[in-house]
Amino acid sequence: MTSGPFDVLRCEPTLDEGAIRRAYYAELRLHPPHLDPDGFKRLREAYDVLLDPQGRAASFFAAPVDLHALRARYEAQLGVPLAAARAAASGSERVQRFVEGWSALTWAEAIARASG
């Protein structure tokens, strides 16, 4: 499996050229050309791709999004207020919502959802 240029530079996908430069120089210390020519070549190729605005844009939009990390971020933002909103609902409404919501899921979906 080939890794994208952001992976080679070990930085989060970004369009910020400054952040890319910083990541490059940080990695350059680990892969100096005289000690690690292959590593340096890989690093330099990735850096060149990201220095080109079109290459940077293509790499940025092609870089996979860590959906679990993103989900955790939004859960941290909305988890508490959503729980509070649920608690505010009456018991029978909660049961009705429970039945309506969970009965529509397949068993696999329900297990995944409840244990996720």
Partner 1 sequence: MGRRDDPKARKVQRALDELDRGVRRGDVERAAAALGELPAELRAAHAPGLAARFGAEVADAHRRRDWARLAALGRGADGAPELLAGDAGATAWALMWGCGRQSDPARARRMFARVEAETAARAPSLARALKAWLHGGAEGAAGDLDALPQLAAAATRSGGAVPSAPATAAEATAAVCALATSQPWAAVAATLGGRWALTGEAGAATRTAGYALSVREHLERTVLGFGEAWAPLSLAVRMAEAAGSTEATRAETLELLRLVLPAASRAADRPPKELLHGVIRLGVRDVALRPMVLSAVAAMAQGPAEWRARAALYRTVYEATAEAEAWAQGLLAYFWRPEADHEVDPEPWLVGAIGALLANGGLAAWLLRPTPGRKDLLEAAFDLMQPDEYERLCDEVWERADDDLRTQLSVWMAELIEENPFAGMGGLGTISPAVIASSMRAVQAAMFQRQVRMLPYSEDFFRVAVGRAKSDAEASDAVARFVARGGTIQRRLMALRVLQEDGMKFLADEMLSEVLEVHEGDATALAEGTLWCSGQGAPMRVVAELAAALRAAVGDGVPPPGGVVAKALMVADALFPRRAEKKPKKPAAEKKPKKPAAEKKPKKPAAEKKPKKPAAEKKPAAEKKPAAEKKPAAEKKPAAKKPTGGGA
The residue ranges that bind partner 1 (CB under 8 A) are 13, 15, 53-54, 56-58, 60-65, 67-68, 70-71, 74-75, 77-78, 81-89, 91-116
Burial classification of residue 59, based on how many CB atoms lie within 10 Å of its CB (0-12 exposed, 13-18 middle, 19 or more buried): buried
DSSP string, 63-101: SPP-HHHHHHHHHHHHHHHHHHHHHHS-HHHHHHHHHHH
CB nearer partner 1, residue 1 or residue 35: 1
Residue 25 or 98: the one with the smaller Cβ distance to partner 1 is 98
> To the nearest whole angstrom, how small is the minimum distance from the Cβ of residue 116 to partner 1?
6
In the bound complex, what is the minimum distance in angstroms from residue 111's beta carbon to partner 1?
5
Instruction: Name which of 40 and 60 has its Cβ closer to partner 1.
Output: 60
Cα–Cα distance list, 39 to 22, 34, 43, 91 (Å): 17, 10, 6, 61
Short-list 32, 30, 5, CA closest to 20: 5
Of the two residues 36 and 48, which places its CB atom closer to partner 1 in the complex?
48
Tell the smallest beta-carbon distance from residue 27 to partner 1 (Å): 23
